[in-house]
């Protein structure tokens, strides 16, 4: 765990402790389970966003993608009788194509990521609304998919399961568990794999990465594909969670939650910096803050204001810290160079 | 070009308003100026010539107030200074037109001339008085014979016209001395003639000009007096009829060579890399043909801007080639990207070490493993012990001085950083190694280590191509020297004929003696 991640963890614990002290309901099993569910849902696409931000890019179409893919998924299984595993694969494949398109436009046509994904945001939202004729997509009365629902919205109390129901603990939502599993896999991909190293290199200095023989375009495209695929998985989880999707508002601003989580988690929008643990912790902090607004009786209209202030504060503190570290490093380097020269003379 | 007879309005009789006396300047490991004198009189056109690294740019930096001389003094209108500041140089009336123009191409001509000191109106509102600005610029452009107005958009102007904007800026500052740094190196011939006319217009108005150029025939055409720099000293001054191409070359050469040549262990083998008619984006109508043999160090000399780096970038697959064939061991290569070149065993140590050669924020070991990360991985997972083990081997082999292989590469000295770049490629199996200015900004100790490594590589059968603007280095290290001039090879010299004079003649586009 990096120092930065540790700092964020401490911050979460401090905020959690304060909230719990004021309102003990914060630690009630049901509140923890509900918050964990949201952390799971938002975490999935935030991890995706993190890969894009690593390349110094940005993905603004997350929320619209979630709305469009959500209505398509619901329509396929509820109205068109497509078996859900097939529909799931179709939706993920669609997401993959979108990510591929973004990546190709950004690398091969050299368009700016902001512009490409902003257009994605507008296009997917529009297509989603057109797809349902602006109506709400939902499941007809009596239609249910027990397997799919168990996988996506189910909750399992492991302690209870192991003790045969004698001891009750918290029933953790499957979305959260999936997100943890995903984070584990993506941690290996980003921090241990060849691709991950290339991603750091491309994000830090694309020119130097190219001069090292890395196929930088492929790396960047892969980042957008990863982001889009994770977003489409999140779209399915969210569709099953909300059960009805009004395409004009579903997923609004979700890209901003993802970007905020990554920035809180130590990612730099200039690329080449950040960790998976960081973005997961960032997601947790955002959800705890939302929860805090509800539990402390702060008017919910202030929700975004609270989130914005905390992020701003966090970024300022982090900035000051790294300036301090930078200064120390420069001094250290100067000392080393001076020391290296000594014996030569 | 003979249409610009050197007139002598005030050039000889007027007293100098600017004097450099005994300028001395050292940079770590380099003596840039070793006691240089210069006098500038009103209305005089002075040519400043010399090889790369002779000290021209240091003179410029001192005049611009960017560099502080170690000793010597600067006299302006009889007042002596130890060093100039940027503001002081401006107040003294010294203006620069750099090779890279400093214009805002999103603004019009008048706005560029008045940038930072716009005439304002409506008092506290400080709105730009665009009309007054335009009216002030119009006569300046007329004095220079410009064929565009003050409201022209800079983005639409040709390079030569943009230079005129810079000169107009100098005029608007009431400059007495305009320094033109390689103003013609990127101009087509017709525009060059126009610029020479502008120089005589400045002269006629009593403004002194220092003209820095590698194109000696232009120096002959434009200058009243030529100062030749060599090794940071004045090698000679030529006045009037003495200004001749050959005399300038004679004065430029003749420096002391300190790098000792080490002969190869065996004669060069078969051709490793062959370029046939290769064209680059910078010189799409010139082509380069060159054969590089196994076991040799081929020096690639030429003036800055001759297209050497661009050629290297094409060989390494960074830039697309605009024509021609590149063969490795007789097999034609596609080279769509650097990844292709790396796969084929063609490696480049780039000119810009910090920007392209290394990831400064990465530790040493991760920089070394980066081009070949797959070799340090099992089922796509990087084995950090394998990476570190290789880095430790490289560190011992190349004597990289660092606290450890986990040290951030950016904290190393220039020489050690360059060794890390080398280590990247030596950890793989090079067939062709291209070095672009391998020892620029590196201390002397590390320099000779890098020369030794180059020779070792060649003796191990690698074909080495070394681009260098350092004459000492080219002559002291290469087995053969190819010289480029304006986008193509102007000659290839075997070691016995690779004298400074021959290289320089080829570099400026003349035949070797």
Chain B residue numbers with beta carbons less than 8 Å from the beta carbon of A214 are 339, 370-371
- Look at B67-71, B160-164, B213-217 and tell me which has the smallest mean pLDDT: B213-217
Quote the tokens at residue A75. Answer: 């329509």
When mean pLDDT is compared across B74-78, B182-186, B303-307, the lowest value belongs to B182-186
Is the pLDDT reported for residue B2 higher than 50? no
Average pLDDT over residues A311-315: 85
Across the range A238-244, mean pLDDT stands at 94
pLDDT higher than 70, residue B385? yes
| Rounded CA separation B201/B140 (Å) | 12
Residue of A nearest to B346 (CA): A213
Mean pLDDT calculated for residue range A149-155: 89
CB contact (8 A) between residue B370 and residue A188: no
Interface test with A, best of B351, B408, B411, B446 (most A CBs within 10 A): B411
Which pLDDT score is estimated for B260? Answer: 78
Whether B188 has its CB under 8 Å from any CB of chain A: the answer is: no
pLDDT at A330: 76
DSSP state of B153: B
- Spatial distance between the Cα atoms of B328 and B332, rounded to a whole number of angstroms: 6
Which of A66, A82, A79, A76 has its CA nearest to residue A128? A66
Report CA A153 to chain centroid distance, whole Å: 18
Which residue would you say has higher pLDDT here, B376 or A314? B376
Contact B370 A212 (CB under 8 A): yes
> Looking at residue A65, what is its pLDDT?
98
Q: Residue length, chain A?
A: 345
CB contact under 8 A, A215 and B356: no
pLDDT digits (tens, 9 = 90+) for B131-168: 888 999 999 998 888 889 999 999 888 888 888 899 89
Which pLDDT belongs to residue A320?
A: 87
Tokens of B464: 């080495």
Helix (H) or strand (E) holding A46: helix A29-54
**Per-residue b or e along B109-123, where b marks 16 or more CB atoms closer than 10 Å to that residue's CB:** bbbbbbeeebeeeee
Is-contact A46 A275, C-beta < 8 A?
no
Give buried/exposed letters for A122-131 (b at 16+ CB in 10 A, else e). eebbeebbeb
Please say whether the beta carbons of B223 and B7 come within 8 A.
no
| Residue range B325-341: mean pLDDT, rounded | 94
Residues from A contacting B (CB-CB < 8 Å) are: 188, 192-195, 197-198, 200-201, 204-205, 207-215, 272, 329, 332-333, 336-337, 340, 344
Residue in A124, A97, A150 with CA at minimum distance from that of residue A251: A124
Q: Test B359 with A205 for CB contact under 8 angstroms.
A: yes
Pairing label, strands B30-40, B18-27: antiparallel
Tell me which residue of B107, B85, B86, B102 sits closest to B152, measured CA to CA: B107
Closest-CA distance of chain B to residue A330, Å: 8
Q: Which residue of B has its CA nearest to A340?
A: B401
Could you give the percent of chain B with pLDDT greater than 90?
50
pLDDT, residue A117, reads 97
Q: Is pLDDT of B41 > 80?
A: yes
- Residue pLDDT, tens place only, A259-271: 999 999 989 999 9
pLDDT at B1: 39
Q: pLDDT tier at A341 (50, 70, 90 boundaries)?
A: low
Could you identify the residue written with the tokens 């890098």?
A: B450
d(CA B112, CA B149): 13
Task: Check: CB of residue A285 under 8 Å from CB of residue A8.
Answer: yes
Q: How far is A337 from chain B (nearest CA, A)?
A: 6
How far does B96 lie from chain A, in Å, by closest CA?
31
Residues contacting B431, CB < 8 A, separation 6+:
B272, B273, B328, B329, B344, B345, B346, B462, B463
DSSP A251-266: TTTHHHHHHHHHHHTT
Output the pLDDT for position B52: 72
Q: What pLDDT shows up at residue B411?
A: 85
* CB-CB under 8 Å, B357 with A211: yes
Least confident span in A227-241, B62-76, B184-198, B421-435: B184-198
Cβ–Cβ of B413/A195 closer than 8 Å? no
How many C-beta neighbours within 10 Å does residue A160 have?
15
Q: At what angle do helices B245-252 and B500-507 cross, to 10 degrees?
A: 130
In B, which residues are within 8 Å of A208 by CB distance?
355-359
Candidates B238, B208, B235; CA nearest to B226 is B238
Query: What are the residues whose beta carbons fall under 8 Å from the beta carbon of B390, sequence distance 6 or more?
Result: B365, B368, B369, B376, B427
Tell me if chain A has a CB within 8 Å of the CB of B292.
Answer: no
B353 contact A CB<8A: no
Query: Are B362 and A194 a contacting pair at CB < 8 A?
Result: no
Confidence band for A345, pLDDT divided at 50, 70 and 90: very low
Residue A94 has pLDDT above 90, yes or no: yes
The continuous run of DSSP H or E covering A336 comes out as helix A303-341
How big is the A-B interface in CB pairs under 8 Å? Answer: 79
Tokens of B187: 């101009």
Judged by average pLDDT, the poorest of A67-76, A207-216, B137-146, B427-436 is: B137-146
CA distance A178 to A69: 19
User: B262: left (phi > 0), else alpha (psi -120 to 50), else beta?
Assistant: beta
Q: How confident is the model at residue B257 (pLDDT cuts 50, 70, 90)?
A: low
- What is the nearest CA distance from A205 to chain B, expressed in angstroms? 7
pLDDT above 50: residue B73: yes
Query: In which band, very low, low, confident or very high, does the pLDDT at A322 lie, cut at 50, 70 and 90?
Result: confident
Average pLDDT of chain B is 88
**CA contacts within 13 A on the Cβ side of B167:** 33
Please list every residue in chain B whose beta carbon sits closer than 8 Å to the beta carbon of residue A333.
410-411
Q: Identify the weakest region by mean pLDDT among A251-255, B27-31, B437-441.
A: B27-31
Give the separation between CA A12 and CA A285, rounded to whole angstroms: 6
- Residue A111 pLDDT: 97
Q: Which residues contact A175 (CB under 8 A, 6 or more apart)?
A: A37, A40, A41, A44, A152, A153, A237, A241
Q: B339 and A215 in contact by Cβ < 8 A?
A: yes
What is the reported pLDDT for B421?
A: 96
Mean pLDDT, to the nearest integer, of A233-253?
95
Nearest residue of chain A to residue B338 (CA atoms): A213
pTM over 0.90: no
Q: Distance between CA atoms of B283 and A194, rounded to whole angstroms?
A: 38
Kindly report the average pLDDT of chain A as a whole number.
Answer: 92
Closest listed residue to residue A107, CA positions, set A1, A5, A222? A222
Find the mean pLDDT for residues A319-327: 84
| Closest CA in chain A for residue B355 | A208
**B 416-435 near A (Cβ less than 8 A):** 416, 424
Q: pLDDT by residue (tens digit) across B174-190?
A: 899 999 988 876 676 67
Residue B11 pLDDT grade (very low, low, confident, very high; cuts 50, 70, 90): very low
Q: What is the pLDDT of residue A311?
A: 85
B residues 392..411 contacting A (CB < 8 A): 401, 403, 408, 410-411
A146 within 8 A of A128, measured Cβ to Cβ:
no
Using DSSP's 3-state secondary structure scheme, residue B469 falls into coil
Crossing angle for the helix pair A3-22 and A276-295, to the nearest 10 degrees: 20
Nearest CA-CA distance, residue B316 and chain A, Å:
8
């Amino acid at each position: 765990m990096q120092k930065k991640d540790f700092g964020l963890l401490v911050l979460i614990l401090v905020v959690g402790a304060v909230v719990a002290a004021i309102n003990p309901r914060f630690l009630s099993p049901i509140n923890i389970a509900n918050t964990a569910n949201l952390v799971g849902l938002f975490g999935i696409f935030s991890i995706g966003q993190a890969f894009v931000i690593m390349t110094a890019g940005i993905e603004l179409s997350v929320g619209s993608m979630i709305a469009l893919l959500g209505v398509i998924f619901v329509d396929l299984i509820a109205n068109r009788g497509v078996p859900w595993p097939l529909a799931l694969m179709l939706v993920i494949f669609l997401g993959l194509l979108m990510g591929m398109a973004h990546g190709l436009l950004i690398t091969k046509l050299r368009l700016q990521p902001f512009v490409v994904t902003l257009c994605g945001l507008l296009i997917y939202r529009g297509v989603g609304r057109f797809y349902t004729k602006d109506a709400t997509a939902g499941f007809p009365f009596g239609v249910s998919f027990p397997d799919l629902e168990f996988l996506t919205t189910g909750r399992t109390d492991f302690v209870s399961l192991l003790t045969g129901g004698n001891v009750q603990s918290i029933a953790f939502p499957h979305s959260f568990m999936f997100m943890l599993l995903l984070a584990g896999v993506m941690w290996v991909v980003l921090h241990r794999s060849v691709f991950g190293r290339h991603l750091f290199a491309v994000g830090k200095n694309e020119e130097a990465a190219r001069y090292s023989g890395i196929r930088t375009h492929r790396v960047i495209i892969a980042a957008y594909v990863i982001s889009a695929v994770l977003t489409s998985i999140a779209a399915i989880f969210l569709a099953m969670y909300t059960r009805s999707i009004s395409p004009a508002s579903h997923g609004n601003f979700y890209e901003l939650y993802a970007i905020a989580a990554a920035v809180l988690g130590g990612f730099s929008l200039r690329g080449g910096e950040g960790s998976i643990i960081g973005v997961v912790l960032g997601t947790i902090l955002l959800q705890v803050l939302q929860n805090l607004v509800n539990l402390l009786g702060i008017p919910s209209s202030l929700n975004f204001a609270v989130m914005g202030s905390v992020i701003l504060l966090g970024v300022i503190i982090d900035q000051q810290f790294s300036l301090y570290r930078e200064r120390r490093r420069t001094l250290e380097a100067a000392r080393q160079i001076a020391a290296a020269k000594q014996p030569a003379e | 070009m003979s249409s610009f007879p050197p007139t002598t309005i005030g050039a000889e009789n007027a007293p100098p308003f600017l004097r450099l006396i005994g300028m001395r300047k050292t940079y770590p490991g380099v003596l840039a100026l070793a006691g240089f004198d210069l006098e500038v009189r009103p209305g005089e056109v002075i040519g400043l010539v010399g090889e790369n690294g002779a000290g021209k740019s240091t003179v410029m930096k001192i005049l611009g107030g960017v560099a502080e001389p170690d000793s010597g003094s600067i006299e302006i209108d009889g007042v002596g200074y130890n060093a100039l500041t940027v503001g002081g140089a401006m107040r003294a009336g010294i203006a620069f037109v750099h090779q890279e123009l400093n214009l805002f191409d999103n603004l019009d001509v008048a706005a560029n001339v008045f940038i930072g000191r716009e005439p304002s109106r409506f008092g506290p509102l400080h709105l730009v008085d665009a009309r007054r600005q335009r009216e002030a610029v119009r006569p300046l452009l007329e004095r220079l014979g410009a064929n565009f107005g003050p409201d022209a958009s800079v983005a639409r102007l040709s390079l030569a016209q943009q230079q005129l904007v810079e000169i107009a800026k100098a005029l608007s500052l009431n400059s007495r001395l305009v320094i033109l740094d390689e103003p013609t190196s990127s101009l087509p011939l017709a525009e060059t003639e126009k610029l020479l006319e502008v120089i005589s217009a400045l002269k006629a108005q009593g403004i002194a000009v220092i003209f820095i150029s590698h194109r000696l025939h232009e120096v002959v055409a434009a200058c009243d007096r030529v100062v030749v720099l060599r090794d940071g000293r004045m090698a000679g001054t030529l006045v009037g009829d003495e200004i001749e191409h050959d005399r300038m070359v004679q004065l430029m050469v003749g420096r002391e060579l300190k790098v000792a040549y080490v002969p190869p262990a065996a004669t060069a083998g078969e051709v490793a890399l062959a370029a046939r008619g290769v064209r680059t984006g910078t010189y799409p109508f010139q082509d380069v043909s060159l054969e590089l043999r196994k076991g040799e160090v081929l020096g690639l000399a030429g003036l800055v801007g001759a297209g050497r780096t661009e050629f290297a970038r094409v060989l390494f697959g960074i830039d697309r080639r605009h024509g021609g064939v590149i063969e490795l061991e007789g097999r034609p290569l596609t080279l769509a990207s650097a990844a292709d070149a790396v796969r084929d065993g063609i490696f480049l140590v780039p000119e810009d070490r910090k920007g392209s050669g290394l990831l400064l924020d990465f530790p040493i070991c991760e920089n070394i493993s980066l081009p070949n990360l797959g070799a340090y991985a099992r089922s796509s997972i990087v084995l950090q012990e394998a990476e570190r083990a290789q880095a430790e081997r490289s560190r011992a082999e190349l004597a990289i001085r660092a606290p450890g292989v986990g040290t951030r590469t950016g904290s190393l000295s220039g020489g050690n950083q360059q060794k890390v770049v080398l280590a990247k490629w030596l950890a793989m199996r090079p067939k062709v190694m291209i070095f672009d200015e391998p020892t620029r900004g590196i201390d002397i100790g590390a320099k000779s280590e890098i020369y030794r490594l180059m020779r070792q590589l060649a003796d191990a059968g690698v074909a080495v191509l070394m681009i260098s603007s350092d004459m000492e280095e080219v002559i002291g290290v290469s087995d053969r020297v190819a010289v480029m001039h304006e986008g193509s090879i102007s000659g290839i010299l075997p070691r016995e004929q690779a004298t400074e004079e021959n290289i320089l003649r080829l570099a400026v586009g003349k035949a070797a003696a």
